[in-house]
A = this chain, B = another copy of it.
Amino acid sequence: MQLIQATIRSIAGNGLSDTTMSRVSKEAGLSQGIINLHFQSKDNLLAETLKFVAEEYRCAWTQALADAGPETVDQLAALVAVDFDKTVCHPDKLAVWFAFWGESKARPTYRNICAARDRAYRTRFNAVITKLIEEGGYTALDAENVSTGLSAMGEGMWLDLLISPRRLSRETAKAVCMNYLSYIFPKHYPRPKVGIDRTNAA
């Protein structure tokens, strides 16, 4: 939807607290009243925008998992990779996530949408990691611990990509996560060559 895309751009460009009805409709090239016509209220537009981004994320990892094939190793690598996918990890989308996370403590609506996304993803994530631990005989590992740490690392990378995109590229961020995997699951992921790629990708 044209208006949701305009909202995403406005949040990225003006911040959530300076995202007004008139700015969004101007961004969309439409008139003032158009948002209330289609979304009833501003609150609703914002909730729908968050839902849109969350749904896009869900689709991305579902598809990635399907494309990865039957091997658990590939499935886990695919789940990590999707976090740094061009669409999902777009600067504007990152800004949207952080904008809503910042408000989520005060707004149950936002928090619930975020928590639901998290639950769905983590359930699947946990299952893949549990399977890899079993298949690989990594008896010393705890699935909950690994999945909590790995997904936290991914989210922290998003913050770095949001705040200092100059210092970090999506590729480098992914490489750092893969490096973590290579230490946790040494039999399944190659230890990358020393040094992180410092070429600055757009």
**Which positions in A face B, CB cutoff 8 Å?**
12-18, 91, 94-95, 98-107, 111, 114-115, 118, 139-142, 144-145, 148-149, 151-157, 159-160, 162-164, 168, 172-173, 175-177, 179-180, 183-184, 191, 194-196, 198
Q: Which of B102, B151, B173, B179 contacts A98 (CB 8 A)?
A: B102
- Contact assessment for B164 and A152 in the assembled complex, using a CB-CB cutoff below 8 Å: no
Decide if the interface of chain A is mainly helix, strand, loop or mixed: helix
Per CB-CB distance, the 10 closest pairs between chain A and chain B, nearest first, are A152-B156, A102-B102, A15-B106, A155-B156, A156-B156, A99-B102, A17-B17, A15-B103, A98-B102, A95-B105
Please tell me how many copies of the chain the complex holds.
2
Distance of A17 Cα from B155 Cα, bound (Å): 23
Is A145 a contact of B106 with CB atoms below 8 Å?
Answer: no
Beyond A17-B17, A98-B98, A152-B157, 6 extra complex contacts between A and B, CB < 8 Å: A13-B105, A98-B105, A101-B101, A148-B160, A152-B159, A155-B160
Closest to A145 in B: B196
Cβ–Cβ < 8 Å partners of A179 in chain B: 145, 149
Are B196 and A162 closer than 8 Å at their CB atoms?
Answer: no
Jot down 11 A-B pairs with beta carbons below 8 A, ordered by A.
A12-B105, A14-B106, A99-B102, A142-B196, A145-B176, A152-B154, A152-B157, A155-B156, A156-B159, A180-B180, A183-B183
A156 in complex: contacting residue of B104, B105, B154, B172, CB < 8 Å: B154
CA distance A180 to B184 in the complex (A): 8
Q: Which residues of B contact A153 (CB under 8 A)?
A: 149, 152-153, 156
Is B140 within 8 A of A152, CB to CB?
A: no
Give the interface centre of A18, A103, A107 by most chain B CB atoms within 10 Å.
Answer: A103
A102 near B105: Cβ-Cβ < 8 Å:
no
Interface pair A152/B160, CB less than 8 Å apart:
yes
